[in-house]
Every structure is written in structure tokens, then in C-alpha cells.
Amino acid sequence: MRALRLPGWKSEPELVQVDEPTAGPGQVVVRIGGAGACHSDLHLMHDFEAGAVPWNPPFTLGHENAGWVHQLGDGVTGLEVGQPVAVYGPWGCGTCARCRVGVDPYCENPAAAPVPGGGGGLGLDGGMAEYLLVPDDRHVVPLPEGLDPVQAAPLTDAGLTPYHAIRRSWPKLGPTSTAVVIGVGGLGHVGVQILKATTAARVIAVDTREQALALGAECGADLTMLSGPDTAEEIRRATGGRGADVVLDFVGADPTLTLGVAAARTVGDLTIVGIGGGTLPVSFFSVPYEVSIQTTYWGSRPELIEVLELGARGLVRPKTTTFPLQDALTAYRKMQDGTLEGRAVIVP
């Protein structure tokens, strides 16, 4: 079969022929119907080097996957060949306290996981291929009716990651609150939809691109702002001087982290999701009182089930552009150039 593989750090992916996987005991092979292209893949190609993460290339890219069950290994029950499924992407050990409640991203026994701190497309072969080997059937999540694999694939990361970040801030997102989404790309535009679908907060979308702001408005943002030196001031003006109760930074670069702090309200949340390489100096007087600053990594399996439900009910609908596998590099190039709208989904 064809697969888009990352041959090494600081290198371009290559479309090559590899053997089709077969399902061992407890495993499942999924025929890929859609594999989302994430900006994290660009970080893998351009920014990371040995030691940045506890795994290394080569592997097949694609950590946002959905499709149909193709082959069931011995002992797998409750799934049927041909059934449409999403793949829960972070693959932990399965037995530690975190994994037992479906929080694989924070697996506490990574040495016993199929790959420490990663999954398919992140250290192990991912879904930018015709078939994906899922090493444990608990990662295969049946799709609710009304959701096809192309829609479902981005929900497994571009949906799940913002959902997890937003959900942990729900108590701060009441009707008088304001949430700011910085970076209205693959994750951010779904983040705006999730905020509108699950909270009564006002949503301000911030990006450097007009096209992204237009998508933010289409997704329900109450206000959009081009990011620049005055954005924090603009956010304060728009919130009666208070600032934003929750800031979600889907970029994570120096200017957005600075903006996040400058725009946050006392007792607010600043959640850093983007892996843009920025740093944020924190001291007693440099951030508003009682602002909680956190990073988040992906989301839990129960949260994926909730996101798929939002998708099936039409409350969250990623804006997708599909590309055939042979044009996957074009999708990444467009993401890099800022000419992609929403999420690119590779359909092999």
C-alpha cells in the first residue's frame, strides 16, 4: 500500500510503498477514510530534532484518523468488519491510573505503551496510508450515526484537543464571560464552534489572517480581531476593561503568549495549546492575579465520544478540504503558506 512517511527529523515526507499491516491478537486494522493534516506535522518536519520527544522517525504521518474496520485480530469483540470508526490517537499503556479512565495522553507508565507519549503518526505508523494498524481495540471508537470518516477524522484531534481545553474551563464560561481564541486554523475554528455549542460565553477570535477571521465569524465568533500590537487593548475595551475570562492560545509563539497574558482577566484561564516554541516569563506582578496558566495535550477517550456526538448532531462541523494521498504535501504547503481554510483531510 502507499504511505506518506517522515524519513527523519528536519526532512520532507515521502510517498512510498509499504506492506499492508495485519491485526495481531487484540488489534484492529482500519481502512482509512480520512486522515487530518495537523500543524504538529509541520513541527515534526521542520522544528523537532532528536531528543525533543521520546520517539523518532521513520514512521507514517497522520494522527487524526477515521475509516472502517478492515480486519479484527483474535479476541477482539464488539466491532464488525466494515463498521465506520474513529481512532482515539494517544496510545498509552492501558493499565495505569490515567489510561484506565481513558486519559492516555498522560499515561504514567509510558515505557509500557506502544510508543511513549505518542501514537499512530507520532512515533508509530499513522493514517496517511490505505490502512492503519491500531495496536489495542480500546482505541477504536464506533462513529455515531450521521458522521462520515472525513468529518470524523479532524474531530479526533482538531476537535478533541480544543474540546478538552475548553471543557476544563467550563466553570469560567458563563453568560457574562468572554473567551478569546488565538489562531483560527484547524484547531481554533473548531474551538470557536465548541465554545458556541457548549457555553454561553461571548467569543472573540484573533488571527493574523483575514481569511481565518472570516472563518471564525462563520463558526459563530461574536467579534473578530486581526492580531497586532493593540489587540490586548481592543479585547479589554470589548470586555468593559475586564479582560477575557478564558484565553485559548492555539499558536503558542512569543507574541501570542504575551497577548494572552495582557488580555486575561483576574482569576481567568490562559491555556496554551499551540506548540509555537514561545516562552512566557512569569513573576508575581507580570500576570493578572489568580490567572491559571496551563498547557494541555490532546484529550481523553470519553471526551472523544462527546466530541463525536457534537459532530453527529451538527453542533460542531469542521470546515474540511480533502486532498488525495498523492497531494498530501500540497495540503501541508498550503497550511504553511496560510492559504488553507479550516482542516485539510487526506483521503487515500
Chain residues that interact with Zn ion, rule: CB under 5 A:
92-93, 96, 99, 107, 109
135, interface contact from Zn ion, ligand NAD, none, CB < 5-8 Å by kind:
none
Q: In the structure grid, which three cell numbers stand for residue 293, read together?
A: 496558566
* Beta carbon nearer to ligand NAD, 62 or 252: 252
Contact segment (CB under 6 A) with ligand NAD among 80-88, 134-142, 245-253, 278-286 equals 245-253
- As measured in angstroms, the least distance from the Cβ of 137 to Zn ion is 16
Residue 39 interacts with ligand NAD (CB under 6 A): yes or no: yes
Length of the chain (residues): 348
Chosen from ligand NAD, Zn ion, none, partner binding at 99 (C-beta under 5 to 8 Å by type): Zn ion
- Is-cis flag, bond preceding 58, omega within 30? yes
Q: Give 26's Cβ-side CA count (13 Å radius).
A: 5
User: Among 8-16, 67-75, 178-186, 237-245, which window interacts with ligand NAD (CB under 6 A)?
Assistant: 178-186
Binds 96, which of Zn ion, ligand NAD, none (CB < 5 to 8 A, cut-off by type)? Zn ion
Rounded to a whole number of angstroms, the minimum distance from the CB of residue 133 to Zn ion is: 19
H helices of the chain, where?
39-46, 97-100, 149-154, 160-167, 186-198, 210-218, 231-238, 254-263, 301-312, 328-337
Candidates 66, 115, 182, 238: give the one binding ligand NAD (CB under 6 A).
Answer: 182
Does position 177 bind ligand NAD by CB under 6 A? Answer: no
By the rule CB under 6 A, 102 interacts with ligand NAD: no
Contact code string over 199-238 relative to ligand NAD, x by CB under 6 A: -------xxxx--x--------------x-----------
* Least gap, CB of 343 to ligand NAD (angstroms): 7
DSSP string computed for 283-321? -TTTS-TT-EEEE--S--HHHHHHHHHHHHTTS----EE
- Stretch 106-165 residues interacting with ligand NAD (CB under 6 A): 157, 161
What cell was used for 82? Answer: 466494515
The pair phi, psi for residue 79, each rounded to 5°, is -130, 155
* Closest residue by Cα to residue 155 from 38, 263, 72: 38
Is 89 near ligand NAD (CB under 6 A)? no
Provide the minimum distance between the beta carbon of 124 and Zn ion in the complex, in angstroms, as a whole number: 15
Question: Cβ closer to ligand NAD: 67 or 119?
Answer: 119
Q: How far is the CB of 57 from ligand NAD (least distance, A)?
A: 16
Contacts of 240 (CB under 8 A, 6+ apart): none
Sign, CA torsion 316/157/67/24: negative
Question: CA torsion angle for 326, 49, 43, 5 (degrees, to 10)?
Answer: 20
Strands 28-37, 343-347: pairing kind: antiparallel
Does residue 2 belong to the site contacting ligand NAD (CB under 6 A)? no
- Phi and psi at residue 272, in whole multiples of 5°? -100, 110
Residue numbers at the binding site for ligand NAD (CB under 6 A): 38-40, 43, 157, 161, 182-188, 206-209, 212, 227, 250-253, 255-256, 273-276, 296-298, 335, 338
